Amino acid sequence: MKKQTIIQDRLCIHVYSFELMDSRMYMIREDDEIFVVDPCIDNELLRDAQGAKHVTVFLTHEHYDHISGVNWLKDHFSCSVYAGKVCAGRVESEKDNLSSRFPFLFLLDKEKYDYVRSHFSLPYTCRVETSFCGKGQLLWKGHLIELYEVGGHSPGSSLIVFDKKFLFGGDNILDNGKELWGTDGDMKQYRESVLPMLRKFNQQMIVLPGHGEKNLLGYFLEIMK
């Protein structure tokens, strides 16, 4: 996927893809500050962020394909990284962030498997500067950011609501309507806790998923029944 740009309600959201798995990284720029969700390494973001003085990073969960660019961003910018308390602990563990297992996702594709083994520095860990427990909120350049620890897809999964208009759902909401499950997901928690919370949100919010294309929350909930 080449970089996409979403323009909605005077907001410009750049979308980048971690090509091996189409994991999505999102970036919003306001003057000389950058807002990033789930960073991966992408030189096009460096060009788009040229001249930025600070990057505020949010993580939807702890899995390697959604945190792989944290240290890279810190090498290039002044950064503050935010995540739920559970996620903050798990990104520091190569076992919990699944980075030690990452190459084995491609065992059936020798070309990709060899590429990962030769091009990625694994296992991988990173650090979160600011964590929240349960719920949190803050203002970024006048925008309201609401944070919810929810679990489901992984123990450290969170939902990030931007100005009550955009929902960064991580891997709890995907463009095919199916939650993506790994070895550490909790289906019972997802059905009994995450889905009821999503149903209480404004169904007209635009979901920006961890993999795949955006759509309205109501659309996702309808096909997830």
Query: What does the pLDDT look like over 125-165, one tens digit per residue?
Result: 999 999 999 999 999 999 999 999 999 999 999 999 999 99
- CA separation for the pair 33, 151 (Å, rounded): 29
Contact between residue 149 and residue 135 where contact means Cβ atoms under 8 Å apart: yes
Residue 175 exposure: Cα atoms within 13 Å on the Cβ side:
11
Strand duo 135-140 + 143-149: pairing: antiparallel
Q: Which residues in 124-138 are b (16+ Cβ under 10 Å) and which e?
A: bbbebeebbeeebee
Answering whether pTM is above 0.85, one says: yes
Q: Residue 13: which of 183, 195, 165 has the closest Cα?
A: 165
pLDDT band for 183, please (50, 70, 90 cuts).
Answer: confident
Q: What is the mean predicted confidence (pLDDT) over 184-212?
A: 93
Q: What is the mean predicted confidence (pLDDT) over 172-199?
A: 82
Contact between residue 25 and residue 36 where contact means Cβ atoms under 8 Å apart: yes
Given a cut of 80, whether residue 47 has pLDDT beyond it is: yes
Give the model's pLDDT for residue 77.
97
Given a cut of 90, whether residue 181 has pLDDT beyond it is: no
pLDDT band for 11, please (50, 70, 90 cuts).
Answer: very high
Give the model's pLDDT for residue 209.
94
Alpha carbon distances (Å) from 120 to 5, 21, 22, 150: 27, 14, 16, 30
Give the model's pLDDT for residue 180.
60
Give the model's pLDDT for residue 89.
98
Q: Between vectors from CA 24 to CA 47 and to CA 15, what angle results, nearest 5°?
A: 45
Q: Residue 99: which of 118, 66, 132, 124 has the closest Cα?
A: 124
At 73-103, the pLDDT tens digits run 999 999 999 999 999 999 999 999 999 999 9
Strand duo 158-162 + 215-216: pairing: unpaired
